Structure 1
Amino acid sequence: MTAKFVLLVTIGLCSLDAILALGWIFPKEPIYCEENDSFRLQCTLDMTAKDANGSNSSNLMFYRGEEIVPRDQVKILNETTIELIIDHAVPSEGYIYVCKLNGIIGVDLRSVYIGHKPQPIKDFRCRAPSWKQMNCTFTPEVNGVLTQYELHFKMEPVLTNYSCKLQQVPNSPLKQCIITIGYGYRAVSEIYRFTLSATNKLGTQIQEFEINNFDVVVPDQPTHCSIVNSSITSHSALLEWGVHNKYENFKRTLRFEVKLLSMFHNQQWQLMDTANINHSKNNYQLSLSELSYADTQYDVRIRMRTNSTVEDDDMWSNYTSCLFKTLSRHPDNPPDVADGIFENANDHLFLYWRELHEWQHNARTGFYYNITKLGPSGQIIEHLNRTRGMIQMRNIVDQNFTFIIYSANGEGLSAKSSVIFVPSKRYRPEKPEVDKLLSDSGKFTLSWKRPSSRSPYAVTSYTVFWCNTTSNSPNDCHGSINFTTVAANRTSFELSGAGSTLNFAVAANAGLLSSGMVWAACTATHKTDIGKLKTLWITEMLATYINLKWKPECGDVAHTGYLIYYCPISSPRTLGCKEPEMSINVTDKSLYYTRLDNLKPYVTYKIEIAMYSDTHIGPRSEPLVNTTREAAPSPPRNLTLQTVTNDSITLSWKAPEHINSGKMSYEIRYNNDTLRYSVEDPNSDVEATVAALNAFTLYNISVRALTIGYSNASEQLTVRTRVGQPEKVAQLSSTVNGDSNLVISWRKPSDTAGCVEFYELKLKSEQTVIYKHRANECQVRQENCKNAGIKSYQFLVRAVNVIRNDSKFEDLSCEERWSELQNRWPNLVTQSSECDGGGMDSRTSISNKLEGFELVYGPWSDPLASWCTKEENLSWKSVISIVVLIAIFLTLLFSFFKMKHIWQVKVIIPDGLNDKSSSGKPDILGSGGRIIFIDQSSNHTSSIGSLKKEIYGKELNQCLLQSSSSSGCGESVGDLSGHDQRSSLEYFSNGGAFEDDSTSFYDQEAERQDLHGFSDEPSDIIDSQMDSTEGVPDFEANGENRSPDSPILSEVKPKPSTVALPLTVTSGYVPAPVAVNPIRAPVSSSGYLQLSTLVNGGGMMMSSDVFSKSANAKMAATPISGYVTHKQLSAYGQHLK
């Protein structure tokens, strides 16, 4: 603080030097003058000053603070001087006038104080608190001229003059002087004389004050306060208190104030009469009698003061307090009742009475009303207790009842009771009819119609009832009921100064009989002449509208329409609108329904209805609270991407603006998939993660909210997942290009999980080398196989992705990512298409961190092997291959000549059969011209049989090499092996005698034909039979497509067989044994059977049991052919046996 002060003084002095350097103001001393006086200031510019060069008095001006002085108060005296003239000075604590050059540079300044001479002090006073010291105070006057005060005092009879130091009272304009015992205060001195002098530049004021020390003593508070316990009753107590001993010989008497406060005094203290105070020395007593409230706690406060002429309130001491509680007693009075204070509705009876105030209970707990129910003859039916001023009884029979009501508490019943008489319905006067209930300017008016004159009971008076209410029920009272009696000649009642909302009722009385209460249907309130509508309900409610109906119960009210108020609320408990209230005006008073449109789904609305007239709007009905139905929500808001990985995306969004339901979930749509996400708090913000995603895949993501229906989708986010691990490369392939180099190629993985910036090719031979390639193939030069020790290569490939924790890099396209990598690492991959250089030993440590980049490797592919072949080995193998091919060619040539001899066998058919067959020859070729050899003389095949066996063996080998799905091979092999363990050639031979007989079957047949004189036809008939297409349809019908290179026997396929019908014999010949061949079984009209029927397309000649019998027999006899007789057939059968 000191440093700041020194700095300000230094700055002020420097500024003053600068000002004085330009000129001066005359007079040079501060000016003091009284208000309305005149004063003058002259400002002179030093023309020799450097800053005043070129300036004169016209450039000078006076300022009061920062405000310029009016121009008419300043005049120019000469070239260097101006003068300020103030004729009527205004009072102020101090003005500073500044003379400035050009309104900027200060020339000089002067202080001016305007005030008045010191004035007399009017509030000088002294107090002697606790008779220990004296405090004197006064309020200095407000003066623009600083005034100095001095206070002196002396005492009688001692005339020593004392000076008292004046101090400012904190937070007050007062100045005070404190005189203590050590500084001149004498408690026994009665008279103090004070001299107060006030001095300023304009004058001096001196005042004399005389103070009586005993009159201004402020005593201490009473030393104690207590109640004599034995004196406490339900309405009285004895109070005791004491004072300090030093006041025993005080030269003034003491005055006391005693006041009481209880919970029933409404914070208004009750002063007690202190005229009957008894005291002995310093002890005092006062009897507190006629206390109003029993069983009530009282707060007693006592204070005292000196009995002097000084009546100021600050002469009182502080309070001393004590508490006591009066005793309880039985209630003093029963509740008040009136004629007709009952309501009888059907078999329900309601009784009312005016409730006692709480202070009348005379006990804080246990108060109740005791009701005794008496029958028509005065017998006691039951005793009932209630705590409120109403009782409801059900199932009341129609007869006279008398009810006696007492007030009661724990001390007993009240001494008196009240009586309500309820006559039977047949003894009741006719009820009055409420005609109108109006209220205007705080005055209620109830009107009713007289009962019919035909009533047997003349009305002697009316009783009008009213009570405060907070419900829609017209007969419900909140608090006690009130009533008054109205003369029989009146039909209206006016009430002023009552509650704000009232229910009214009226009863007609005829002596001791009464009609009972008739309640007004509407509730009357202040400020209006229209009652409250009490009945309204909802007829239909959906998500966006409510259909509302109401029923006015006060048809007598002169209303002209209805106002429907509604708004959404925050809570049914508070019923406060959370949005501006809306209203609908129904101008047709006869219309009792309306629709509230454009509501929000699943929102709780408060609905109120008020009737209005031309001049007033009635009170609103009790709020009707209901919640609209649920609906689909609005879309989720602010869908935001939080994090992205290679297999997940984390999203966040805000809840829909309108949820329209109590429960809600979400559906996250990403491409063609969906994910359901549930939340507990539908109003909270959501963060969800979509997992199990594909790496480096573009996803279109949106979110829908779901309640009873889906919302519209949120705004769509397009997000690409991060790069991940690529899949395994498929099987590698190898080719040899035109330069005799081995080309290893592969396809991109089906799931790249990224851009696959390059591939790593692992080449395993004598050592393992890894190459990085951008392309999908790599060449290996053939010269590598010349290296000694290299016998084979193994190739493995894996895909490599590059990632970087940089959103900018991750958002680049594949081409842009590769360009970025090439710019940073030009030699990252091998530019050559060959795998012979630039590789890296697999044992070398390869870091997958490249200055912030990371390599993600896919798994290695399955290895592809390649063997090296030496040139000398290659030549030797070539020679062997040529020799094998020549041997195969010679074998085929030999087989051709052998088969040609067989094809030249002639088939001779009798002339009589030429017209029986299209070919005129036996069908020894079977189906399609196939050749079947039958020989019964040998178990070994002939050379032709050997050829056929060789062909069949080739076919079998070929079938073993081919797929089982081949129809030609599979069926042929299966059919031939299914009959017997022997080869198929044995089935088509007569005992397999080809090797034993030097003469073939065809030679024997030719000899027999010559013996019988059969004609010899050229061999080309057989050739034509072989070349004909007669048998082709059988193969095509079975769906077989024979390869041109397939052996003949590979196409042998048995056809389905059926049972042949017996053949009718018309000549001396019989047909040969029946062979099953439904397609080829031509039977001549003469009854002879052709030989071809014994051959079934290369299949079986006879049934399976015949073959089973001939399996062990030798067919040595010459085979029969052509037409046979019974004898020949019998002989042939015997031979077979």
Structure 2
Amino acid sequence: MEYCLVKRTLTIALAINLLSVVQTDNFRWTHLEPPGTLYKVVGERLDLECSYFKDDKTNLSDSLSMQRCRSRVCVTLPSETINRTSIRTSIESLLVEDGQTYKCSFKLQPDTMSLTYVKVGYRPSPPKDIYCFSRNHLDMNCTVTLADRDARSELVPNITVYFQSTRSTKWLKCPNYNARYHYCYWRAPPISGKDLDNDFVINRGYIILVKVMNVLGSDQSELPIDDTSTIVTISNLHQFKGINITSRKAVLTWGLPEALFPVTFDIDFEINYTSKWDPEKQIIYRSKKQMRKVMKDLIPNTKYDVSIRARGRRMVLDERSWSPVNKVSFKTKKDAPSAAPRSTVGGYFLSRPGINNTGDNCALQIYLKPVPKKQRNCDLSDMSYRVTLEGETNPEYKVVDPAATLILVLSHKSCLNKGPNRVIVQACTEGYQCSRKRSVIHIPSVDKDSDTDSTSNRSHCGGIWRHTFYSVLVNSGLCQCKSC
């Protein structure tokens, strides 16, 4: 009995409190028109009216105010009086930053207020970009890039991706969509899906439809794909390496992860290489099915850094179409003996029997050293050099007569070398033990069309350096042998 009485008393008290709350909520002293949340397009006009409803015959409009608030910071807006209980404010052309909270309040009762939330934005634009690709002939991947102002808008757009095969009349919604990255993915099921004609199949045409919507409107864009073979990407290249490396050549080999590619597609390979003599990238393009490339005319004793990437030849010209970059490094072999300095690109070792049969053997070692790139106007791979001795026919270039004239000829096949070119001259013993002292000699240039009586000068493009063997070894102070 007592329990029922207490329960009835609590129920009546709760009802009275709820009625009080409802009455207070229904009878606000202020009212802001229009109420609630407004969605406006940039450039539109905004009119707001603030009113006070208390039954009072005095002029209350002077105590009304309208404010624009963001992050608890409010700014009072200019207004005009409509009557003794109402005021009005207008914004002729809304900006994005006008999307804030607007407050109508009565100064004599600060806790009495009405709010209207205004969001300002744009009607959606067509997507800035739709990029689609296939990884393995059986799937479709599309990434949507919004227009710049839509991407920055507070009115978050809703994106829907549809696809349709050119053999079908039905639009199918993308089954897997990531709203955060605007990314769509679908794959042909093992058994026919909703629409067999719309299953992803290689060498078929499709239409991709992207709709962008927000509370202010919608827009859309289509991407036609004439043939899905044009969007198949290469995920990676395998076992990229250099083999059969000599002083002048190297062979690059690599493999594809997808077995169908060499049969079905022509592929563009972009190969870049750099060296200390050519620090800027040198690009080689290939559009063939072979997974092999021979690099010719390389510089001896030089490290090469090589990179490769690939894409289907019919792919759209887009950086995203390329496979990840694979890299390899190798060093070409030397032309000169092992004692050659690091900066050489080749050389000759000229031995000479000991004088007076002492057994000592002084020799002349010649290295070709490129000048800095800024000082040359040709590729090093086009340059060649040879050594001859006037009056000597020994194929091993053994110098018997110290007075014999040594001739070093530096040539360039395209006759564009204007020099100067440098030659390093160094004295060595028979065991390739060379002195640390080296002499750098400049070879003057000789143009192809230069007027000279020398027959040897006319037979090449480049430079000639002439010295007797004795003057190089002795007068230059390079030979360290006692018998020299």
Per the shorter chain, which TM-score range? 0.5 to 0.7
Task: Verify: 1:270 aligned to 2:292, yes or no.
Answer: no
| Letter of the 1:176 counterpart | Y
Alpha-carbon separation, structure 2, partners of 1:480 and 1:26: 94
Which residue, out of 192, 200, 208, partners 1:186?
A: 200
Q: CA deviation at 1:128?
A: 1.4
Residue of structure 1 in register with 2:319 after alignment? 313
Q: Work out whether residues 132 and 142 of structure 2, in 8 Å CA contact, stay in contact via their aligned partners in 1.
A: yes
Task: Verify: 1:85 aligned to 2:90, yes or no.
Answer: yes
Residue of structure 1 in register with 2:117 after alignment? 111
Alpha-carbon separation, structure 1, partners of 2:182 and 2:285: 39
Residue of structure 2 in register with 1:787 after alignment? none
Q: CA deviation at 1:41?
A: 1.0
Q: Where does 1:1072-1087 land on structure 2 (aligned, <5 Å)?
A: none
Which residue, out of 100, 104, 107, partners 1:102?
A: 107
State the aligned residue count: 340
1:528-560 C-alpha deviation (Å, 9 max, x unpaired): xxxxxxxxxxxxxxxxxxxxxxxxxxxxxxxxx
Relative to structure 1, is the Cα distance of residues 205 and 227 closer, same or farther in structure 2, using a 3 angstrom cutoff?
A: closer
Q: Where does 1:140-539 land on structure 2 (aligned, <5 Å)?
A: 140-141=146-147, 142=150, 143=153, 145-164=155-174, 166-169=177-180, 175-182=182-189, 186-188=200-202, 190-211=204-225, 212-229=227-244, 232-243=245-256, 244-250=258-264, 252-262=265-275, 264-266=277-279, 268-272=280-284, 274=286, 279=290, 284-294=291-301, 296-308=302-314, 310-330=316-336, 358-360=342-344, 362=346, 406-407=366-367, 415=387
SS at match of 1:108: strand
Relative to structure 1, is the Cα distance of residues 53 and 234 closer, same or farther in structure 2, using a 3 angstrom cutoff?
A: farther
Structure with larger Rg? 1
1:165-221 C-alpha deviation (Å, 9 max, x unpaired): 54234xxxx522122334865132521112222333433323332124211111232
1:680-710 C-alpha deviation (Å, 9 max, x unpaired): xxxxxxxxxxxxxxxxxxxxxxxxxxxxxxx
Q: Work out whether residues 236 and 291 of structure 1, in 8 Å CA contact, stay in contact via their aligned partners in 2.
A: yes
Alpha-carbon separation, structure 1, partners of 2:249 and 2:137: 36
SS at match of 1:197: strand
Which residue, out of 61, 66, 74, partners 1:62?
A: 66
Instruction: Using structure 1 for the length normalisation, give the TM-score.
Output: 0.27
| Letter of the 1:75 counterpart | E
Residue of structure 1 in register with 2:81 after alignment? 76
Relative to structure 1, is the Cα distance of residues 207 and 258 closer, same or farther in structure 2, using a 3 angstrom cutoff?
A: closer
Relative to structure 1, is the Cα distance of residues 263 and 181 closer, same or farther in structure 2, using a 3 angstrom cutoff?
A: farther
Alpha-carbon separation, structure 1, partners of 2:361 and 2:368: 13
**Alignment root-mean-square deviation, CA:** 4.5
Q: Work out whether residues 262 and 289 of structure 2, in 8 Å CA contact, stay in contact via their aligned partners in 1.
A: no
What runs of 5+ residues in structure 2 fail to find an aligned partner? 1-20, 370-385, 390-437, 445-470, 472-484
Residue of structure 1 in register with 2:43 after alignment? 36
Residue of structure 2 in register with 1:848 after alignment? none
Alpha-carbon separation, structure 2, partners of 1:371 and 1:140: 74
Q: Work out whether residues 267 and 289 of structure 2, in 8 Å CA contact, stay in contact via their aligned partners in 1.
A: no
SS at match of 2:134: strand
Alpha-carbon separation, structure 1, partners of 2:48 and 2:115: 10
Relative to structure 1, is the Cα distance of residues 203 and 241 closer, same or farther in structure 2, using a 3 angstrom cutoff?
A: closer
Relative to structure 1, is the Cα distance of residues 217 and 481 closer, same or farther in structure 2, using a 3 angstrom cutoff?
A: same
SS at match of 2:320: helix
| Letter of the 1:61 counterpart | S
SS at match of 1:121: coil
Q: Where does 1:699-714 land on structure 2 (aligned, <5 Å)?
A: none
SS at match of 1:215: helix
Alpha-carbon separation, structure 2, partners of 1:112 and 1:177: 32
Alpha-carbon separation, structure 1, partners of 2:367 and 2:312: 49
Relative to structure 1, is the Cα distance of residues 249 and 329 closer, same or farther in structure 2, using a 3 angstrom cutoff?
A: closer
Alpha-carbon separation, structure 2, partners of 1:85 and 1:238: 76
Task: Verify: 1:22 aligned to 2:1, yes or no.
Answer: no
Q: Work out whether residues 93 and 145 of structure 1, in 8 Å CA contact, stay in contact via their aligned partners in 2.
A: no
Alpha-carbon separation, structure 1, partners of 2:309 and 2:94: 53
Using CA pairs below 8 Å that are at least 6 residues apart, which structure has the higher relative contact order?
2
| Letter of the 1:258 counterpart | I
1:712-770 C-alpha deviation (Å, 9 max, x unpaired): xxxxxxxxxxxxxxxxxxxxxxxxxxxxxxxxxxxxxxxxxxxxxxxxxxxxxxxxxxx
Q: CA deviation at 1:146?
A: 4.7
SS at match of 2:230: coil
Q: Work out whether residues 315 and 321 of structure 2, in 8 Å CA contact, stay in contact via their aligned partners in 1.
A: no
Q: Work out whether residues 273 and 307 of structure 2, in 8 Å CA contact, stay in contact via their aligned partners in 1.
A: yes
| Letter of the 1:192 counterpart | Y
Q: CA deviation at 1:483?
A: 8.4
Relative to structure 1, is the Cα distance of residues 63 and 221 closer, same or farther in structure 2, using a 3 angstrom cutoff?
A: same
Relative to structure 1, is the Cα distance of residues 109 and 480 closer, same or farther in structure 2, using a 3 angstrom cutoff?
A: farther
Alpha-carbon separation, structure 1, partners of 2:93 and 2:259: 63
SS at match of 2:229: coil
Relative to structure 1, is the Cα distance of residues 121 and 408 closer, same or farther in structure 2, using a 3 angstrom cutoff?
A: closer
Alpha-carbon separation, structure 1, partners of 2:82 and 2:368: 102
| Letter of the 2:169 counterpart | L
Relative to structure 1, is the Cα distance of residues 330 and 405 closer, same or farther in structure 2, using a 3 angstrom cutoff?
A: closer
Q: Work out whether residues 96 and 110 of structure 1, in 8 Å CA contact, stay in contact via their aligned partners in 2.
A: yes
Alpha-carbon separation, structure 1, partners of 2:105 and 2:344: 84
| Letter of the 2:284 counterpart | M
1:315-357 C-alpha deviation (Å, 9 max, x unpaired): 111234444432222179xxxxxxxxxxxxxxxxxxxxxxx98
1:1081-1122 C-alpha deviation (Å, 9 max, x unpaired): xxxxxxxxxxxxxxxxxxxxxxxxxxxxxxxxxxxxxxxxxx
Q: Work out whether residues 45 and 107 of structure 1, in 8 Å CA contact, stay in contact via their aligned partners in 2.
A: no
Q: Where does 1:773-852 land on structure 2 (aligned, <5 Å)?
A: none
Q: Work out whether residues 92 and 115 of structure 1, in 8 Å CA contact, stay in contact via their aligned partners in 2.
A: no
Q: Where does 1:922-941 land on structure 2 (aligned, <5 Å)?
A: none
Q: Work out whether residues 232 and 315 of structure 2, in 8 Å CA contact, stay in contact via their aligned partners in 1.
A: no
Q: Work out whether residues 266 and 289 of structure 2, in 8 Å CA contact, stay in contact via their aligned partners in 1.
A: no
| Letter of the 1:80 counterpart | T
Alpha-carbon separation, structure 1, partners of 2:107 and 2:26: 13
Q: CA deviation at 1:238?
A: 2.4
Instruction: Using structure 2 for the length normalisation, give the TM-score.
Output: 0.58
Alpha-carbon separation, structure 2, partners of 1:317 and 1:301: 12
SS at match of 1:131: coil
Alpha-carbon separation, structure 1, partners of 2:351 and 2:67: 92
Q: Work out whether residues 155 and 189 of structure 1, in 8 Å CA contact, stay in contact via their aligned partners in 2.
A: no
SS at match of 2:143: strand
Residue of structure 2 in register with 1:757 after alignment? none
Q: Work out whether residues 198 and 205 of structure 1, in 8 Å CA contact, stay in contact via their aligned partners in 2.
A: yes
Q: Where does 1:742-781 land on structure 2 (aligned, <5 Å)?
A: none
Q: Work out whether residues 131 and 143 of structure 2, in 8 Å CA contact, stay in contact via their aligned partners in 1.
A: yes
Q: CA deviation at 1:371?
A: 12
Q: Work out whether residues 370 and 407 of structure 1, in 8 Å CA contact, stay in contact via their aligned partners in 2.
A: no
The alignment-based identity, stated in percent, is: 20
Residue of structure 2 in register with 1:631 after alignment? none
SS at match of 1:124: strand
Q: CA deviation at 1:97?
A: 0.6
Q: Work out whether residues 272 and 282 of structure 2, in 8 Å CA contact, stay in contact via their aligned partners in 1.
A: yes
